[in-house]
Structure formats: C-alpha cells, structure tokens
A and B are shown apart, each in its own frame.
Chain A
Amino acid sequence: MMMSHFKKVALTALALCMIGAPVHAAEGHKYPLPDMDWSFEGPFGTYDKAALQRGFLVYKQVCSACHGMKKLYYRHLEALGYSEAQIKTIAAEYTVMDGPNDEGEMFERPARPSDKFKLPYANDKAAMYANGGALPPDMSLIVKAREGGADYVYGVLVGYTNPPEGVVLGNNQHYNKFKSGNIIAMANPLNDGQVTYEDGTPQTADQYAKDVTHFLAWAAEPEMEQRKQMGVKVLIFLAVFAMIMYAVKRKIWEDVH
C-alpha cells in the first residue's frame, strides 16, 4: 500500500536516530489485525463521502445508543456532503436542554447545527450502570486512541467468535479476536440487515463495520484531507527548493573543490 511504502521510506531515513517503538503485549491471544484497503490511507488518501454518510447512519442508528461523540457538532456533518438544510433536519431530531431563559428556567428545544452531538447518557456513572459496569468509550477519537487505528476498530466489530477451549466468559463478557485481551463487555452490535441503506450497498454486518469505521476515522481526523493535500504541495516545494539550493551550493563551492 502507498502509505506503508511511504512510511518505510521515511522511517528508513530516520532509522539511525530512531529508537525502538513502544510495544504492547496484551494478555490473551494476539491475532494479526485485518489489513484493510481504506481510501483514506496513503499520502493521497481521501474519505469516501458515500461511505461516511452510510457510516454516520450506522453510528446514529446503532452505536449512538451507548457511545457518545463529545467532540462533534452537527455542523461538522457538512464535511460528509450533507446540505445545510439536511443538517438542520438531522439536528432537529434531537432535543437538547438550553437555558436559563429570561425567567431563569432551563428549557428543552430541538437541537440546532451549532449544538454538540447529543450524548446517550448524562454522565459516565449512568453509562456504566446501563452497561453492566463497563464504560462505552467516547467515539470521537477512538481511531487515533487505539494501536492499529481503523484496522483495529473494524477488527473489533467483526472479531466476535466463540471463545476457544478453556476460556470461560463471565456475565456481560464476550470473546473477540481483535480486542486487546480478547474479552470485551460490548455484545456484537452489528447484524445483517439492521440498517437500511438507500444507495444499494449490501446491508451486511461486514459492510456496516467498514462504513462506521470510515466515519469514525473521519471523526478522529477531520483535517486529514486538507493535511495531506497541503503536505504534497509542501514536499514538492521543498524538493524543488532543495535542488536549487544544491545547485547554488555546487556553484559557490566550485572554486574551492
């Protein structure tokens, strides 16, 4: 893949001065993560807007029951290709608390694009109480907050299997090949046909997992497209500048060599 090749080149350039990367050894069995071909990988990677919209749908209809996304505002959905009117409609599906008003009272109103995503629980305690003591982590940064990134999140969503011989699961525990440590308190959230897609994309659990991961990758790095596009320009500039400077240097040093 582009990214990994690119990475290798740059890392080799630094090989002499870099010291070993931090290493994780989780208990449990470590299965190699699926190596997915994400459109957002590599120096020219971009998000697929259709996948983002489908992923948002999955998040909205499935994951948002348990997982909040504290860092997102409804207005951010513009990046997925929604129009202003569509975003208004999406936001208006939720009721948020506002106030105090002129009489000093808190009041409820439909959410607006300038509001934050509505959270499923009032606080962590409530979230844990509702999930048998486990805290469903906030999803805003999940792709950046796990070793393996998008491959890991996708892996967790498709990694549910029966536990191997000898592994005894407790109450509210599930076996997952890719979760670090293999034991996860989240039941398999995705099933075939659960979310209706309007664009004819197959409605399988695997496709849902891909799409929602795509959406979560965007949520973690909304600046990624701008960053990479700028990076290509910066590197081209630096390469040309370096060549010119090298030529000038040769010229200046000509008489002493």
Chain B
Amino acid sequence: MGSNSDRKPFNNKTIEWIDQRLPIFTMLDKEYGKFPTPRNFNYFWNFGAIAMFMLVTMIVTGITLAMHYTPHANYAFDSVERIMRDVNFGWLIRYIHMNGASFFFIAVYIHIFRGMYYGSFKQPRELLWILGVTIFLLMMATAFMGYVLPWGQMSFWGATVITNLFSAVPIVGPGIVEWMWGGFAVDNATLNRFFSLHFVLPFVIAAVVFLHVWALHVTGSNNPTGLDVKGPQDTLPFNPYYTIKDLFGLIVFVAVYAMFIFFMPNALGHPDNYIPANPLVTPPHIVPEWYFLTFYAILRSIFFDFNPIMLAGFGGIGYYVAKVVWDKNRTDYFSTRNLIILGVSGFLTLVGFVGAFFPQLHIPLTNMVIIEAKLGGVLAMFGAVGLLFVLPWCDTHPVRSARYRPLYKAALLFFVAIVLLLGYVGAMPAEGIWPWIGLAATGYYMAFFLVILPILSKHEKALPLPASIAQAVLDEQAAKAAKLAKKGA
C-alpha cells in the first residue's frame, strides 16, 4: 500500500495515468488550486510570486548568456561585447539579465518589508522567514559574483575591495583571501571560480525557494490583519482568485522592468563598467551596485579602531540590554543600580571615543587597538544581515500586523527611512559628514532590532483587533460604503 490511496481520480485519461503513478496533479490542485488563502491580501502579497518569476527569468537568461560568454581575464570583456553586438538578440538577453538582478532585489526588498510590516516572520512562520533570509544572503553572493563577470573596471575593483574585507579576520584573514582569489590578486583564477559559483548558486537558491514555499504551505499565508485563519469564511481558493491577481500584478511589475530594459538599460549600472578591467588604474570612487549600498554604508560606518575603554563601555551597555531590556519580566530600566550601569558604561564609551579621535589627549589605553576598524566594519555588516535572521526573537509581541501596533509601525517606517538613508550614504564618498551620518544610522539599525523591538514587545498596547479576517473585510466594506454615501449626499 503506497501513500497514494486517498486520491480523487481525474477525468482526463493521460492525467489520470500519470497521477496514479506520481500524484503531481493532485499536489498541484491541492497546493495551487484549492489551497485556502486568506481573502484579504493586498498587493504586497504579489511580490513572492514576482520574485519567483524573476528567479526563473534570471536562470533562463543566465544560461543563454553562458553559452556565449568566455570566463577568461583576457576575453571576458570582449565576449560580453560580442554578445551585445554580434549574437542575435544578445543585447536583449544581456539587458534582461542585467536589469533583472536589480528588479529581483526590488521585489525581494518589498517582499521582506511586507513580512516585517505584517509580522509574517512570527510564530509559526519563523523557519519560513529564516529560509527567506537565507535566500536573500545567497542572492547577494550570486549578484556580487555576477557583477564581476563582465570584467569591467567596477567588476575588478569591486571584487578587489570586497574580497579584501576578509583579510580583516585575525590571523587566518590573509590566507583566506589568497585562497578565495586562487592567487595573489584578483585575476583569471578568481574570474573562473566566480563564474562557476555564479552559475550554480541560483540553483541552490531555487532549492531553498522550494523549501521556503513548502514551509509556507504548511503554515498557510499570513494576511494584512495578521490574524489566524479561523474557518472557510476567512479564505478563498488560490485559483482563480489569486492566480489572476498575481498575474495582473506581475504584468504591471514587468512593464516597469521593461521600461528599464528597453529605454534606459544602463541607468542602474555604472559607466565605469564599460571600461575594461585594468589592475593599474583605480577608479576614483568604487561603488557597489545600488542594492548593496545600505550594507556598504554599514561596512564603512565603522571608521575607527575599537580601544579597550570603548569596548568596556559597549560591554556595559550590552550587559544592560541583555539583562534588563531582554528580560521579559523586568521593567526596572531606571532603577538606581541600572542607571549606574548605564551611566558608567556610557561614560566609558564617550571617553573611548574622545581618546580615539583626539590622540593628542593621551588618554590611557585609548591608543591600544583591540578590534581594527576594518574588522569592526565587517562585523557590523554581517551583523546587520544576521539580525534579520533573529528578528522573530527580537519582536515577540503577540500581535502580528503593524496595523494594530502604532508604535511598531512608526519604528518600522523610520527603520525603512534609515535603510534608505544608509543607501544614500553608501553612494557618497567617505568624506566629511557622511561617515558620521552613516554611524548614527547604523546605530539606529542595530538598536531597532536589539532595543526597540524587545521593549515594544513588552510594553506596546495594541489597538483592538477585529474578530476575524472575514469581519475585517466586512468592516472595511462598510467603511467604504459609508464614505461613498457621504460623498453622494
């Protein structure tokens, strides 16, 4: 007796023949046909399907490009230009792929924002969320290596800057970097392995997307109210309601994407990448692609070495956050003892900074370097991504949706503003006021996860929740009708 006994037969003979042996049609019907889906999705729920479409697009165009591309330092640039000029519709394939990376990130950034705003990362969807962040990390690695392949000036120098980051790791760093390069500089060996990895990683992403969607179909989707589905009145079958809505949204997205492909294909890129790589000429400003700018700014926001005084201060603040802020049962934020801890560690941090920036004051111990700026920056950058992984444990408030949590909503929208600001800072030369703005913004980024969310989880009083998803839909319709009636009168 197999696992295939309680199957409903199909009318079509061929389908039935296949389904008896491999119940793929039963599965499709269950997961995408009848699949009960909350009835109140807004258009933010389109971006998962859009991201899926982009992944497929990238794989198809990528494989086609790989048929004509030559991964060799001497020929890579020319082979890309050959694709642009001599391969039939090569320019089209390349521009779809090139702009596709940007639009994939746009879709995924909106998708992630949706998850944060409506609390989709919360119990029981933590693993679904973690798989999503894993996809995001893999996407970053893939996009970074892909950008190296045309072997233009930004390819080469971007690769040099980013791989060099790993030299910040104590002791083994320089060894790791040479191991990654396959030599003593970014060169042909590096290009070859990046091509190999850029080819295979999207298939790894596809595998993780499969797990991600599997996990989604176990828990079912969240929805704009963040309420659990309580019964059939709260849901609609996925097909036709959401197949058509996803299709409509996808076409609008693709139209914007097509505007870039056909009318400004290089607007999101950098002109320097049309100059062949030259290890002897460093471009005046090395900037990563726009979708990395936020993380690039965080990397560069640590522009000072950490001295022991500073670290002692940070340690004290960390102790306070871990013991007081993160403890569900404590509210004694400003007890005398805690004020003393905060005061002393704040003072130490301040002294550490003053010593670091005014060495002429000769403050003891502040000339000692415990963590170099470069390593600090790398830790901050990876920490920023790492925090996304642990988000479900930073925000443990029982109410999911920001609709009913005004304070969370404000903090989150401000967080989005900060992420955009960091992106802007990342595009600026690291001079003048910019690194300081970057530092302050990085501070908020970290504090959002580590301080604001735990405090809100403990104290925020949510607005009254609707009784159910169906009730929320009815309330909305009533409100709309009332508005219309008012207009008419």
Interface residues of A (CB under 8 A from B): 3, 6-7, 10-11, 13-14, 17-26, 43, 70-71, 76, 137, 140-141, 144-147, 149, 220, 222-223, 227-228, 230-232, 234-235, 238-239, 241-242, 245-246, 248-249, 252-253, 256-257
Complex Cα distance A71/B285, Å? Answer: 27
B137 within 8 A of A: no
Known: A7-B264, A222-B85, A231-B261. A20 touches B427 (CB 8 A): yes
Complex Cα distance A242/B254, Å? Answer: 10
Complex Cα distance A7/B294, Å? Answer: 24
Q: Which 9 A-B pairs have the closest CB atoms?
A: A231-B262, A19-B423, A20-B424, A145-B274, A22-B287, A245-B248, A223-B91, A238-B255, A144-B274
Report B256 CB to chain A, min CB distance, Å: 5
Q: Which residues of B contact A3 (CB under 8 A)?
A: 263-264
Number of A-B contacts (CB under 8 A): 130
Complex Cα distance A95/B399, Å? Answer: 78
Complex Cα distance A228/B265, Å? Answer: 11
Q: Which residues of B contact A43 (CB under 8 A)?
A: 262-263
Query: Which of A7, A246, A252 gathers most chain B CB within 10 Å?
Result: A252
Q: Which residues of B contact A11 (CB under 8 A)?
A: 267
Complex Cα distance A1/B477, Å? Answer: 44
Query: What 0/1 readout, one digit per residue, does chain B (445-477) give for beta carbons within 8 Å of chain A?
Result: 000000000000000000000000000000001
B22 within 8 A of A: no
Chain B residue, CB-CB nearest to A147:
B271
B365 within 8 A of A: no
Report A72 CB to chain B, min CB distance, Å: 9
Query: Which of B265, B271, B293 gathers most chain A CB within 10 Å?
Result: B271
Q: Which residues of A contact B428 (CB under 8 A)?
A: 20, 23
Q: Which residues of A contact B212 (CB under 8 A)?
A: none
Report A231 CB to chain B, min CB distance, Å: 2
- One of B238-246, B321-329, B333-341, B352-360 contacting the partner: B238-246
Q: Is the CB of B272 within 8 A of A145?
A: yes
Report B291 CB to chain A, min CB distance, Å: 8
B429 within 8 A of A: yes
List residues of B (83-140) whose CB comes within 8 Å of A's CBs.
Answer: 84-85, 91-92, 95, 106, 109-110
Known: A17-B106, A227-B91, A242-B248. A10 touches B260 (CB 8 A): yes
Q: Is the CB of A14 within 8 A of B106?
A: yes
List residues of B (237-289) whose CB comes within 8 Å of A's CBs.
Answer: 240-241, 244-245, 247-248, 251-252, 254-256, 258-267, 270-272, 274-275, 284-285, 287
Q: How large is the interface on B (under 10, 10 to 19, 20 to 34, 35 or more residues)?
A: 35 or more
Partner of A10, one of B91, B264, B290: B264
Q: Is the CB of B429 within 8 A of A246?
A: no
Can you sample 11 A-B contacts with CB below 8 Å? A17-B106, A17-B110, A19-B290, A22-B287, A23-B427, A26-B284, A227-B95, A232-B262, A245-B251, A249-B244, A252-B240
Complex Cα distance A169/B36, Å? Answer: 75
Q: Is the CB of A230 within 8 A of B262?
A: yes
Q: Is the CB of A238 within 8 A of B258?
A: yes
Q: Is the CB of B275 within 8 A of A145?
A: yes
Query: What 0/1 readout, one digit per residue, does chain B (306-326) give for beta carbons within 8 Å of chain A?
Result: 000000000000000000000
B420 within 8 A of A: yes
Report A155 CB to chain B, min CB distance, Å: 14
Q: Is the CB of A246 within 8 A of B248?
A: yes
Chain A residue, CB-CB nearest to B95:
A227
B39 within 8 A of A: yes
B81 within 8 A of A: yes
Chain B residue, CB-CB nearest to A71:
B81
Q: Which residues of B contact A227 (CB under 8 A)?
A: 91-92, 95, 262, 265
Partner of A145, one of B109, B251, B271: B271
B373 within 8 A of A: no
B435 within 8 A of A: no
Q: Which residues of A contact B272 (CB under 8 A)?
A: 145
Q: Which residues of A contact B263 (CB under 8 A)?
A: 3, 6-7, 10, 43, 228, 231
Chain B residue, CB-CB nearest to A223:
B91
Report B276 CB to chain A, min CB distance, Å: 8
Complex Cα distance A105/B428, Å? Answer: 56
Query: What 0/1 readout, one digit per residue, does chain B (55-82) give for beta carbons within 8 Å of chain A?
Result: 0000000000000000000000010010
Q: Which residues of B contact A256 (CB under 8 A)?
A: 39, 236, 241
Q: Which residues of A contact B202 (CB under 8 A)?
A: none
Partner of A19, one of B244, B258, B271, B420: B420
B426 within 8 A of A: yes
Q: Which residues of A contact B251 (CB under 8 A)?
A: 238, 241-242, 245
Chain A residue, CB-CB nearest to B423:
A19
Q: Which residues of B contact A23 (CB under 8 A)?
A: 285, 427-429
Complex Cα distance A152/B434, Å? Answer: 28
Known: A14-B106, A239-B255, A241-B251. A146 touches B271 (CB 8 A): yes
Report B269 CB to chain A, min CB distance, Å: 9
Given A223-B85, A238-B258, A242-B252, 17 more pairs with CB closer than 8 A? A10-B259, A10-B263, A18-B290, A19-B420, A21-B427, A22-B285, A71-B78, A137-B275, A144-B274, A145-B275, A234-B258, A234-B262, A242-B251, A252-B240, A252-B241, A253-B241, A256-B241
Complex Cα distance A231/B424, Å? Answer: 30
Q: Is the CB of B284 within 8 A of A223?
A: no
